Homo-oligomer: A and B are copies of this chain.
Amino acid sequence: MEKDNKVTMVVFSGDMDKVMAAFIIATGAAASGMDVTMFFTFWGFKAIEKEGALTGKGLFGRMLGLMNRGGVSVIGPSRFNFGGMGRWMMKKMMKDKNVASLTELRDLAVELGVKMMPCQMTMDVMEIGANQLIPAVTAPVGVATMLEEANHSKAMFFI
């Protein structure tokens, strides 16, 4: 099997800093002409949920949705969050340095043709509907599709 000029990323984490690292690598790779596939799973769904999306149907699904409310602009970093202070401070520092925000980075990724695949199993277990995701995502896929992408990629990341 030949390797394509491609990067595959599994975005498992929903932390602001890790999601940001994922989108920085993705847009950097796409800008340099590589194909990029991002597979979103578990907490990584926060990065592709619509602003303020409240997921979940059953009791547990709704509880999880509430604790883990979606939207790329409300998530905190993995360290030093202090109930939102960390998110605000990190956003301010990045703006001061002209680094793109998470929302801007994600828009750029869409423009550059980065493929964003939601994990079917996560949507089932966490009761997330397709209408709660941003329109740019592909249809939900399974782990076999992700592996197929990874097997053909020059580089891959689990974030």
Query: Which positions in A face B, CB cutoff 8 Å?
Result: 1, 3, 5, 7-8, 10, 12, 14, 17-18, 21, 24-25, 28-29, 32, 34, 41-43, 58, 60-61, 63-64, 67-68, 78-80, 89, 92-94, 96-97, 99, 121, 124-126, 142-144, 146-147, 150-151, 153-159
Contact A96 B150, beta carbon cutoff 8 Å: no
In the complex with contacts A58-B96, A64-B80, A150-B155 CB distance below 8 A: yes
Point out the residue from B10, B28, B64 that lies within 8 Å of A157, measured CB to CB.
Answer: B10
Contact B147 A7, beta carbon cutoff 8 Å: yes
User: Copy number in this complex?
Assistant: 3
A155: which B residues are within 8 A, CB to CB? Answer: 8, 147, 150-151, 153, 156
Chain B nearest Cβ from A157, distance in angstroms: 5
Task: Please give me the residue from chain B that is nearest to A96 by CB atom.
Answer: B58
Closest 4 CB pairs of A and B: A28-B143, A150-B155, A151-B154, A157-B158
In the complex with contacts A21-B42, A96-B58, A125-B97, A79-B89 CB distance below 8 A: no
